[in-house]
Amino acid sequence: MALINVKSKEVQVKIVYYGPGRGGKTTNLEYINSKYRDQIKTEMVSLKTHDDRTLFFDFLPFDVGRIKGFEVTIQLYTVPGQVKYNATRRLVLRGVDGIVFVADVQKDQRKKNIESLNQLYENLETYNLDLFKMPLVMQYNKIDLRKSNIPILSSQILQKDLNGLLKVPAFEASALTGGNVIPTLKKIISTTLGSIQDQMF
Ligand SMILES: Nc1nc2c(ncn2[C@@H]2O[C@H](COP(=O)(O)OP(=O)(O)OP(=O)(O)O)[C@@H](O)[C@H]2O)c(=O)[nH]1
Ligand SMILES: [Mg+2]
């Protein structure tokens, strides 16, 4: 549940970009950071390893203005996707209000996407949260590779693997070029705020 300060009329909403290592979560936030400078009050915080992998999380606060008299700040986080960091992933999910699942469309990442989604389900369970009730958007990232000779998964396969049961909004995207990064963000913000409003008012 979002952090609501009734006295100062502020709401802090936590959205987490989750998915397998090297899928493009940090690149999503970097693109958002570069496009929405005036809505971002502070610097993007990145805690990374020497080779640019996320070590703990990336953090980007995003101001969306007032809703029903409340000043709403969206806090965007990424998790470290490397398999060994599950304890950290679970920690970052604490208090989550909405999730973007960033899948990697490369064919050789098929199993990793599925494993990561299954682990997300389990990690949420430890907080008594149900993935099926969570505001969620799927992003099939690196779609620009279609133009290369790297084999990629079809959207039918991705939908079947990852979204067959969940049936949430899904976007093909390229965080590298910015394709569909902002539509993904807008969708998760509107879904999450909708769900918070239902709980608040
Ligand atoms: N071709 C292509 N490469 C991408 C895209 N998005 C990210 N990458 C590349 O994939 C690599 C990993 O991207 P990151 O954003 O660091 O991935 P991550 O999900 O944050 O990875 P972890 O922090 O390890 O979990 C980088 O070399 C990016 O430039 C994309 O849309 N297309
Ligand atoms: Mg990262």
Q: What is the mean pLDDT of residues 23-36?
A: 96
pLDDT recorded at residue 201: 61
Taking a C-beta distance cutoff of 8 angstroms, is the pair 19, 123 a contact? Answer: no
Evaluate: CB of 98 within 6 angstroms of ligand 1.
Answer: no
Report how far residue 3's alpha carbon sits from residue 14's, in angstroms, rounded to the nearest whole number: 9
The amino acid that residue 182 corresponds to is I
Average pLDDT over residues 92-121: 98
Atom in ligand 1 nearest the alpha carbon of residue 141: 31
Q: Is the pLDDT score of 158 beyond 90?
A: yes
Q: Residue 84: enclosing H or E segment and its boundaries?
A: none
**Residue 25: closest CA among 99, 93, 79:** 79
In the predicted model, is pLDDT for residue 50 greater than 90?
Answer: no
For residue 91, give the CATH number of its domain: 3.40.50.300
Task: Name residues whose C-beta falls within 8 Å of residue 90's C-beta, 6 or more positions apart in sequence.
Answer: 123, 126
What is residue 138's predicted lDDT score, i.e. its pLDDT? 98
**Hey, whose CA ends up nearest to atom 15 of ligand 1?**
24
Ligand nearest to the CA of 147: 1
pLDDT of 129 reads 97
Quick check: CB of 142 below 6 Å from ligand 1?
yes
Which residue segment(s) compose the domain that 126 sits in?
Answer: 3-199
CB atoms within 10 A of CB 3: 13
What CA–CA distance (Å, rounded) separates 167 from 19?
A: 17
State pTM to two decimals: 0.96
- What pLDDT score was predicted for residue 63? 87
Structure tokens at 192: 């999450």
Instruction: Give the chain's mean pLDDT.
Output: 94
**Ligand with the closest atom to the CA of 102:** 1
Q: Is the pLDDT of residue 4 over 90?
A: no
132: number of Cβ within 10 Å? 12
CB-ligand 1 contact for 78 (6 Å cutoff): yes
For residue 199, pLDDT over 80 is answered with no
Closest of 100, 118, 97 to residue 162, by C-alpha? 118
Kindly give the distance from the C-alpha atom of residue 80 to the centroid of ligand 2, in angstroms, as a whole number: 6
Are 22 and 80 within 8 A, CB to CB?
no
Q: How far is the CA of 58 from the centre of ligand 2 (A)?
A: 7
Q: pLDDT over 90 for what percent of the chain?
A: 79
Dig out the tokens for 173 from the structure. 């995207």
Structure tokens that stand for 89 in this block: 């992933």
| Separation CA 23–CA 104 (nearest Å) | 5
Helices (H), ranges, the chain: 25-35, 86-92, 110-125, 155-163, 181-200
Q: Ligand 2 centroid to 116 CA: how many Å?
A: 14
DSSP letter at 68 equals: T
How many angstroms is it from 164 CA to the middle of ligand 1?
A: 25
For ligand 1, atom 11, name the residue with the nearest CA: 22
Name residues whose C-beta falls within 8 Å of residue 36's C-beta, 6 or more positions apart in sequence: 62
Distance CA 20, CA 64 (A): 28
pLDDT over 70, % of the chain: 99
Cβ atoms 170, 140 nearer than 8 A: yes
Q: Which ligand is nearest to the CA of 22?
A: 1
Give the count of domains, the chain: 1
